[in-house]
Amino acid sequence: MTDVRELARELADALAGSDEYQEYLELKEKISGDEKTKKLLLDYREKLMEARSKQIQGEELDEELEQELQEIQRYVELNKPVQEYMEAEHRINELVNELHQIIFSDLEIGLEDEPAGPEVQ
């Protein structure tokens, strides 16, 4: 019988060795080594999370937050290392999501009459 955990470890090793992940790690190191660029990315994500949190809670974005987000987004769009990092991060997330879908696509989990939980994408 195949040990599923061992196969998962092999998959993790293959993912860690993939071109997508290696590129992501290189760009992550590049961003981490530049405090100004790293701060820009972290500030952008913080403002984005703040805005998304308000939207999820059904709150309107106040004008100050909107302006701050637009301003920092302009800087992010002009910063090539941040753009490259975010694109690489997106590619690795897409790959992980694709693997998740492949792994769970043929599995039947739960009862037939049970309300559906979050869909696997």
Q: Which domain holds residue 61?
A: 19-98
**How many structural domains are present in the chain?**
1
Contacts for 4-9: CB closer than 8 Å, 24+ residues apart: none
Is position 104 within any domain?
Answer: no
- Each residue's pLDDT tens digit, 27-74: 999 999 999 999 999 999 999 999 999 999 999 889 998 999 999 999
Is 63 within the bounds of a domain?
Answer: yes
Residue 116 counted as domain residue: no
Query: Mean pLDDT in the chain?
Result: 91
Is the four-CA dihedral 108, 111, 116, 118 of positive or negative sign? Answer: negative
Q: Are 66 and 72 in contact (CB under 8 A)?
A: no
For residue 14, is it within any domain?
A: no
Instruction: State the average pLDDT over residues 72-98.
Output: 96
User: Which position has the higher pLDDT, 41 or 116?
Assistant: 41
